[in-house]
């Protein structure tokens, strides 16, 4: 049984992966037009406060332009660092104005946010503090999400506030607006940031809450990515990539870069973007496959690459993108492609351990937004043969064509069966039928209907494909022809194996998918900063 | 005065950057055809040695296929680790057969190479050692650059050999050919690897030596990159990138990835590759500029990106590529774009220090191949205004249009003047005329004819461009229109600045250029694994 989607929001987003409603598109277009007009109006400088001349404290507030006029020597404190230890001291901070709350003519609050940290700033008109009623009014007139500088004394909060990360308040002595946001944003930060618990609480009280459509989020991504959950997703993505490189470097791999503009198609198939390259027909690489293999022929021993991968996919699913980041590795093998599996085992266990240890807060933020079960994995990764997998499915009532491939549904089911039986969300399935693998895959020595290949799964979704590759030009050419590839377009690739080529294998992973599945997210668009799918080319 | 090119090889390569001779193209085509035929012939299995059945030691040599049959539990030693400490012990190694030297029917040498390490293997027919005359003949029949396994006892060399990295010899007891190279390679390893000193020694003796044309190298890149100097170049490239990321992460930057497929052109201009994106007109990003700025609007604070950059350049120069790796960074600034310059100062000094400390051997390899002066740089990077630069040139007799840009020649000259006067190959030139900078560059507050921008130079060549960026939508739109950009294609970019946008600045660097200039190389094609220039799309 497939688990039910966790919330209305998720349901909407699942739907949105499959189709963008015309209504939504129109709505977004109206919003965009409104935003454009508002932005033009906003460009008029705000009217100067009438009382400015009468205000002895006029220098303590106002709009300020940052144009590299001078270096004042003042130093700004990160909002995340403003805590009890600074109590009684003056600090200078800059942030997005998340909340503006006037209380009276003489008092008001502004909450500033920097990355995932928020702090409350209190303005109280007082001649002693150099704060005028005009200054309080100025603060009240700020628009949400404007960039604001505040100087003031740090004071502990009387009681902790669940909606703020910092347990102190700043008694404002100076406040400047650095860059004003338009008054009506096309997407409200609070709506974008609202957590599952907040939705449920509102529902219980019968208060209607805005559910932000996935496409609206993506259309106004510079606002959407300000939310704590989204900042956390991209921080985790950074960590996955860093750990990938660090681990492989420690195992004697070096990082390379291979061309994305290539003649011919990298691995055949229809899903390739074509273009004109100074008069020559060219296409965008669907993977660094052929080039990372040529680096191995070049004697590099072990290589990895982190780079853009392009697929002219037509399929609108929750897991396909037309452009994504590939984490690829290729290595000499001495005897057996299990040497590659061993690297994957060590690498991914190291990545998962690292995330659980070093990204606790980020995982909690994501969990608050969309609750998920932590990934379970074994210290030594489970390996099953493809035949064993099929047998497990058969015993559970799902018949699979033994020499065919698993479809998404069968993969999901197998993931659940493996979890029940072995207690892991992460496992390797190896010895796939040759017919379902790319032409450069090495056949099995004992049965050429099978191949020295494997896939790796997280939560029942395939995230890694790998194999031993063919390293002799004769077999490589034969297999390419059998698979219907025009060998003239990959001539230099095939010939590389005539110049002395070590036996080798490797694998490729999609960065966005790893993060999506580790964090239990339901859509790969959530883990791509500016996703590209069959419809979306902007922003 | 421009320094004369150091060697005939360099002269040839300088020429080759400007034009590929038709003669050379034909020659390469002939070579390729020959290689293809040879490769097909080579596919016939080598005739079995006639005496095989009579040889009691037949199991100790022969051709072996690596197809993941079994895991033997044997362990291979890296050739670089085979040294005196292993004397008297048996080791198992795998490498490219660099030299095959039969001495007699009963004795022969094979030199094996793994990455930059080489070791001599000695075969002497002897019943005690399990080595037959047939086995010596088998070794003599190996082709250069074949992949070979050797097992044997480590013995110290009687006297060190300049042409080998390991000071020991292996007395072979077993030898297997894992993958045979064609007998006539299109590019000989020795020719590709020959150093300046070797060329000079040969010249003195009047022995003619093959100078390998740059295009031949690139056509057969999987052989060319096996040379110690080339492996060193790409190792250094890996280190530059790693240090870039490590340093910026330590300064609170996080790594992001932005789309390379975009609607509109990223920064205007003609040099853009166009393509069809599922029915929508699209192009390849000429830089991550607009997207990394949107990440700053998204509250990320400080970001960097390492990724592919595409320029449909028509210019065939030593420093332009159609595809290269951009190292980009963008950060909030509090007051002044010198905050960005400070990051660059710390970052590049850290990178240069790291290379000098951790890549000594690699730098020596490159220096042996093409001698160069080590880069001189100051602990605190020199900053000069553009006007000061122009004044220095004027005083040295070169007149520059004060509101124009520096051409390549003037940049080179300024580099020499700065080196003479300040003793550094690395400096920042800032406050460029606004007219020569992109539309998103912030004008100077005191004179809008100038801009808050800078370039950074290594050895008189520009490698980094950076600036404070405009962060208000009104000015940004105005400047885009003034620069002739169709603002409808960058609407979401401009609108991002209406939603609350912090003041910010950043910079971009070409990875290949940094390595080229640090290592005193004369052509950026040498630092790109599979370079793309106006003609070259393959391999």
Q: What is the ipTM of this complex?
A: 0.91
Of B180, B319, B459, B504, the catalytic one is B319
In order of A108, B143, B210, B273, B368, the CA distances from B190 in angstroms are 78, 14, 10, 39, 14
Query: Residue A277 above 50 pLDDT?
Result: yes
Give residue A172's pLDDT. 98
Same domain, yes or no: A377 and A439: yes
Considering the domain boundaries, does residue A186 fall inside one?
Answer: no
B465 a catalytic residue: yes
Query: Residue B213 above 50 pLDDT?
Result: yes
B513 a catalytic residue: yes
Point out the domain boundary residue: B179, B206, B240.
B179
Structure tokens at B372: 């160069």
**For residue A249, how many other CB atoms are within 10 A of its CB?**
16
Segments forming the whole domain that contains residue A501: 228-527
Same domain, yes or no: A372 and A434: yes
SS3 for B129?
A: coil
Of A213, A226, A311, A431, the catalytic one is A311
pLDDT in tens, A95-110: 999 999 999 999 999 9
Contact B241 A255 (CB under 8 A): yes
Domains identified in chain A, total number: 2
Considering the domain boundaries, does residue A57 fall inside one?
Answer: yes
B313 a catalytic residue: yes
For residues A414-427, give the mean pLDDT. 98
How far is the C-alpha of A239 from the C-alpha of A363, rounded, in Å? 12
Give residues 327 to 356 of B whose Cβ lies within 8 Å of A: 332-338
Q: Is the peptide bond before B539 cis (omega within 30 degrees of 0)?
A: yes
Instruction: List, in sequence order, every residue forming a beta bridge with B147; answer none if it has no partner.
Output: B96, B179
Nearest to A392 by CA among A416, A408, A376: A416
**For residue A351, how many other CB atoms are within 10 A of its CB?**
21
Instruction: List, in sequence order, every residue forming a beta bridge with A426; answer none if it has no partner.
Output: A458
SS3 for B149?
A: strand
Give residue B26's pLDDT. 60
Give residue A271's pLDDT. 87
Place of tokens 């979704």: A461
Same domain, yes or no: B473 and B507: yes
Nearest to B368 by CA among B172, B194, B183: B194
Interface contact B457, partner A, CB < 8 A: no
In order of A78, A177, B493, B499, the CA distances from B472 in angstroms are 23, 13, 11, 10
* Length in residues, chain A: 539
Of B12, B14, B241, B313, the catalytic one is B313
Give residue A30's pLDDT. 65
Output the domain CATH number for residue B272. Answer: 3.30.930.10
Considering the domain boundaries, does residue B63 fall inside one?
Answer: no
pLDDT in tens, A447-480: 999 999 999 999 999 999 999 999 999 999 999 9
Considering the domain boundaries, does residue B275 fall inside one?
Answer: yes
Nearest-10 crossing angle of helices A338-358, A511-518: 50
Lowest mean pLDDT across A264-268, A314-318, A334-338, B517-521:
A264-268
Instruction: Give the gap in angstroms from C-alpha B474 to the nearest C-alpha of chain A.
Output: 6
pLDDT in tens, B313-351: 888 999 999 999 999 999 999 999 999 999 999 999 999
Considering the domain boundaries, does residue B50 fall inside one?
Answer: no
pLDDT in tens, A164-198: 999 999 999 999 999 999 999 999 999 999 999 99
Same domain, yes or no: A422 and A510: yes
For residues B350-362, give the mean pLDDT. 98
A471 a catalytic residue: no
Any idea what the Cα angle at residue A528 is, between residues A525 and A532, rounded to 5°? 70
pLDDT band at B265 (very low <50, low <70, confident <90, very high): low
Q: What is the dihedral of CA A88, A94, A100, A106, to 10 degrees?
A: 40
pLDDT in tens, B464-473: 999 999 999 9
Q: What is the dihedral of CA A330, A336, A341, A345, to 10 degrees?
A: -110
Check if the beta carbon of residue B196 is closer than 8 Å to that of residue B370: yes
When the pLDDT of each residue in chain A is averaged and rounded to a whole number, the result is 91
Give residue B315's pLDDT. 84
What percentage of chain B exceeds 70 in pLDDT? 89
Contact A472 B181 (CB under 8 A): no
Considering the domain boundaries, does residue A13 fall inside one?
Answer: no
Check if the beta carbon of residue B301 is closer than 8 Å to that of residue B220: no
Same domain, yes or no: B484 and B368: yes
How far is the C-alpha of B479 from the C-alpha of B493, rounded, in Å? 14
Same domain, yes or no: A330 and A463: yes
Query: Residue B222 above 50 pLDDT?
Result: yes
Considering the domain boundaries, does residue B477 fall inside one?
Answer: yes
How far is the C-alpha of B507 from the C-alpha of B491, rounded, in Å? 23
For residues B385-413, give the mean pLDDT. 94
In order of A392, A394, A415, the CA distances from A421 in angstroms are 10, 15, 10
For residues B271-289, give the mean pLDDT. 93
For residues A302-317, give the mean pLDDT. 94
Any idea what the Cα angle at residue A535 is, between residues A534 and A538, rounded to 5°? 115
Give residue B14's pLDDT. 39
Structure tokens at A65: 């332009």
Considering the domain boundaries, does residue A472 fall inside one?
Answer: yes
What percentage of chain B exceeds 90 in pLDDT? 83
For residues B154-174, give the mean pLDDT. 94
B221 a catalytic residue: no
Give residue A23's pLDDT. 57
Point out the domain boundary residue: A138, A156, A179.
A179
Same domain, yes or no: B148 and B170: yes
Point out the domain boundary residue: A150, A179, A208.
A179
pLDDT band at A486 (very low <50, low <70, confident <90, very high): confident
Q: Helices (DSSP H) in A338-460: which residue ranges?
A: 338-358, 360-369, 386-395, 408-422
Same domain, yes or no: B17 and B80: no
Counting runs of H as helices and runs of E as strands, what totals does chain B give? 16, 17
Same domain, yes or no: A404 and A520: yes
Check if the beta carbon of residue B47 is closer than 8 Å to that of residue B63: no
Same domain, yes or no: A95 and A159: yes
CA end-to-end distance (rounded Å), chain A: 37
pLDDT in tens, A202-258: 999 999 999 999 999 999 999 999 999 999 999 999 999 999 999 999 999 999 999
Q: For residue A59, what are the contacts with CB-CB under 8 A and spacing of at least 6?
A: none
Interface contact A77, partner B, CB < 8 A: no
Nearest-10 crossing angle of helices B338-358, B228-250: 140
Output the domain CATH number for residue A120. Answer: 2.40.50.140
Instruction: Give the gap in angstroms from C-alpha B332 to the nearest C-alpha of chain A.
Output: 10
When the pLDDT of each residue in chain B is averaged and rounded to a whole number, the result is 91
Lowest mean pLDDT across A27-31, A241-245, B496-500:
A27-31
Nearest to B474 by CA among B453, B446, B495, B448: B495
Q: For residue A259, what are the contacts with CB-CB under 8 A and spacing of at least 6?
A: A285, A291, B323, B530, B531, B532
The helix (run of H) or strand (run of E) holding residue B117 is: strand B117-124
Nearest to B411 by CA among B397, B393, B388: B393
Check if the beta carbon of residue B214 is closer than 8 Å to that of residue B192: no
How far is the C-alpha of B227 from the C-alpha of B207, rounded, in Å? 22
Same domain, yes or no: A172 and A243: no
Same domain, yes or no: A171 and A244: no
A465 a catalytic residue: yes
SS3 for B13?
A: helix
Structure tokens at A386: 């493809």
Of B465, B471, B525, B528, the catalytic one is B465
Query: Residue B31 above 90 pLDDT?
Result: no
For residues A111-138, give the mean pLDDT. 97
Nearest to A198 by CA among A189, A207, A186: A207
Give the 3-state secondary structure of B230-284: HHHHHHHHHHHHHHHHHHHHHCCCEECCCCCEECCCCCCCCCCCEEEECCEEEEE
Nearest-CB residue to B502 (from A39, A179, A334): A179
Give residue A12's pLDDT. 39
Query: Residue B419 above 50 pLDDT?
Result: yes
Higher pLDDT among residues B439 and A2, named by residue? B439
């Amino acid at each position: 049984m497939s688990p039910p989607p966790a919330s209305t929001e998720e349901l909407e987003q699942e739907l949105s992966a499959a189709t963008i409603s015309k209504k939504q598109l129109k709505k977004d277009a109206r919003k965009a037009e409104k935003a454009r007009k508002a932005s033009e109006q906003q460009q008029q400088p705000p009217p100067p406060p009438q009382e400015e001349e009468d205000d002895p404290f006029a220098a303590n507030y106002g709009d300020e332009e940052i144009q590299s006029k001078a270096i004042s020597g003042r130093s700004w404190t990160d909002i995340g660092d403003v805590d009890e230890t600074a109590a009684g001291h003056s600090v200078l901070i800059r942030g997005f104005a998340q909340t503006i709350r006037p209380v009276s003519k003489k008092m008001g609050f502004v909450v500033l946010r920097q990355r995932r940290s928020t702090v409350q700033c209190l303005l109280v008109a007082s001649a002693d503090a150099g704060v005028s009623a005009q200054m309080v009014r100025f603060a009240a007139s700020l628009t949400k999400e404007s960039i604001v500088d505040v100087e003031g004394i740090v004071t502990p909060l009387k009681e902790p506030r669940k909606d703020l990360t910092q347990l102190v308040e700043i008694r404002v002595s100076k406040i400047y607006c650095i860059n004003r946001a338009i008054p009506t944003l096309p997407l409200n930060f609070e709506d974008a940031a609202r957590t599952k618990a907040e939705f449920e609480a509102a529902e219980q009280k019968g208060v209607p809450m805005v559910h932000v459509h996935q496409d609206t989020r993506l259309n106004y991504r510079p606002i959407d990515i300000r939310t704590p959950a989204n900042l956390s997703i991209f921080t985790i993505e950074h960590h996955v990539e860093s750990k990938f490189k660090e681990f492989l470097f420690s195992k004697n791999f070096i990082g390379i870069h291979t061309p994305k503009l290539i003649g011919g198609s990298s691995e055949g198939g229809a899903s390739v973007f074509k273009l004109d390259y100074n008069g020559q027909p060219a296409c965008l690489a669907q993977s660094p496959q052929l080039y990372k293999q040529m680096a191995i022929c070049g004697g590099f021993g072990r290589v990895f690459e982190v780079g853009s991968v392009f697929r002219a996919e037509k399929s609108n699913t929750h897991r396909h993108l037309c452009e994504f980041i590939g984490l690829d590795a290729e290595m000499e093998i001495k005897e057996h492609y299990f040497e590659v599996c061993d690297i994957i085992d060590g690498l991914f266990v190291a990545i998962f351990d690292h995330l659980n240890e070093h990204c606790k807060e980020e995982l909690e933020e994501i969990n608050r937004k969309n609750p998920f079960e932590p990934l379970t994995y074994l210290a030594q990764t489970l390996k099953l043969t493809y035949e064993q997998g099929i047998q497990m499915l058969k015993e559970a009532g799902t018949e699979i064509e033994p020499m065919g491939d698993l479809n998404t549904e069968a993969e999901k089911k197998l993931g659940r069966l493996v979890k029940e039986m072995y207690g892991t969300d992460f496992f390797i399935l190896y010895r796939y039928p040759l017919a379902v693998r790319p032409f450069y895959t090495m056949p099995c020595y004992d049965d050429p209907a099978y191949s020295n290949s494997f896939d790796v799964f997280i939560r029942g979704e395939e995230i890694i494909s790998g194999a031993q590759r063919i390293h002799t030009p004769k077999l490589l050419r034969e297999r390419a022809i059998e698979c219907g590839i025009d060998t003239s377009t990959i001539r230099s690739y095939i010939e590389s194996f005539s110049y002395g080529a070590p036996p080798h294998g490797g694998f490729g992973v999609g960065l966005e998918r790893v993060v999506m599945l580790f964090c239990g997210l339901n859509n790969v668009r959530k883990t791509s900063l500016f996703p590209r799918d069959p419809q979306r080319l902007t922003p």
